[in-house]
Amino acid sequence: MTDEEPRTPEDGWPGGECPAGAFGRRSFLQGAVVAGLVGTAGRNLLGGDASPADRARSGDASTRAVPFHGYHQAGIATPPQPTGTFASFDVTVSNRGELTELFRTLTARARFLTAGGTPPKAPRGSAPPDGGILGPRITPDDLTITVALGATLFDGRYGLGARKPAQLITMKPFRHDALDLGLSQGDVLIQICADHRDTTLHTLFDLLAHTGGAMKPRWRIDCQRNPPRPVGTPRDWFGFKDGIANPDTTDTAQMNQVVWAQPHTAEPAWAAGGTYQVLRIVRFDIEAWQKVPLAQQERIFGRRKDSGAPMYALSENASDLLDPIYTNDPQGLITPLDSHIRLANPQTPETAATSTILRRSYDYNQTLDVHGGLDVGHAFCCFQRELNTYITMQNRLEGEALVPYISPRGGGYFFALPGVLDDQDYYARGLLT
């Protein structure tokens, strides 16, 4: 499906201004809708995290901003911020014109919030347009807002079926999944990441307030990235370093090969510059894991727990950047054949094309579930040029030794939109025009 023209920065609102309050007249934060945002039991998960040591961030948060405009959206190749929110929505507008207005409004708000600034003053006797969570001036706080579309948006409601990304489907349960439909899929996924939790929450409130009843919350998960302990890659709740093996996000050729959708392929022309996003909400059985001996834990993951290094590295000071080597270990005597990292990337010619994804995961922590047990786990997030890369990798992982200690229960498949080029552009313009 390549019958569309490449995106160009045009078709803006008169004067280049997008009416940020287009949906604000119908306040989203009312009555039962507030309850939908705050959530019912099992719908909203709380979590927290901190930034990796290698992010090289400096300066005051009030002046630290991630550029919003570009060929690709921010929040994908951007170094992960300490806090994140993933929020899924079902779109409720009646036609494509209203859908376009929704995406214009989301763009205007994202453009303003990521740059920061002073909200407009309310007329005397009126409610303030901003809740004031961040004070009188909104700080950028390394904020990124990343918008992705689910397969259900391409049903018959808006006439978009012929323009659906080539591999975009609804996530089906794998063999060991226990998916909750209330924590899965959605028409639109909005990923919000920043340095501090009040920024992500303020951003979510702002987007909802300005989009009115145009989209309804489906599920949401708040999460964090833990700080590196002691150095290098952050650890997950199992105590192992997560996300060590990743493509170099500064290598344009590699990113074009494994992450970004390309023009003149099976993808529709508008999709170039976007990427497939996978989100998997995976609960950890911490109580059972803590009873597993250290040596067995390491064989389950395929890495040393203290250092994060491959199994052959015995020194406690070994680098977590060392490459696992399997050529001299065909029987899995050093790194077990069913270990997590070996199944994710077996390093064989047959699996080479389905072993590289861009991981950008977070951890969640709801503390106690309704039965009094720990409810902690992983908001596994990854991006890849082809969705089948992830699906094939996950099918291999269905046989991993970690299976008894994890319970995937939500998430979905989405297509992260190409970037917004300039002040005249808006999310999904190439799709909608």
The DSSP symbol for 398 reads T
Average pLDDT, the chain: 87
- pLDDT of 404 above 60: yes
- Examine residue 293 and say whether the peptide bond preceding it is cis (omega within 30 degrees of 0): no
CB neighbours (10 Å) of residue 388? Answer: 14
Asked whether residue 6 is domain-assigned, the answer is no
Q: Say how many domains are in the chain.
A: 1
User: H or E stretch including 146?
Assistant: strand 144-149
Instruction: Give a yes or no: residue 310 inside a domain.
Output: yes
The residue with greater pLDDT, 47 or 345, is 345
Identify the pLDDT of residue 366.
83
- What is the per-residue DSSP string for 341-352? HHHH----TTTG
Evaluate if residue 22 carries a pLDDT over 80.
no
Is pLDDT of 33 > 70? no
Per-residue confidence band for 369, with pLDDT thresholds at 50, 70 and 90? low
Number of Cβ within a 10 Å radius of residue 197: 18
pLDDT beyond 90 at 183:
yes
Is 10 inside a domain boundary?
no
pLDDT score at 129 = 84
Distances (CA, A) of 7 to 10, 23, 257, 322, 432: 9, 26, 20, 41, 11
Query: Tell me: the pLDDT tens digits for 151-182?
Result: 999 999 999 999 999 999 999 999 999 999 99
Average pLDDT over residues 31-35: 34
313 part of a folded domain: yes
Q: Are residues 151 and 144 in contact, defined by beta-carbon separation less than 8 angstroms?
A: no
Provide the domain limits for residue 315: 19-425
pLDDT > 90 in the chain, percent: 74
Is 432 contained in some domain?
no
Which stretches within 212-280 are classed as H helix? 252-258
Residue 246 has pLDDT above 60, yes or no: yes
pLDDT band at 122 (very low <50, low <70, confident <90, very high): confident
- Assigned domain for 433 exists: no
**Structural domain contains residue 8:** no
Residue 412 has pLDDT above 80, yes or no: yes
Q: Is residue 12 part of a domain?
A: no
What pTM was computed for the model?
A: 0.86
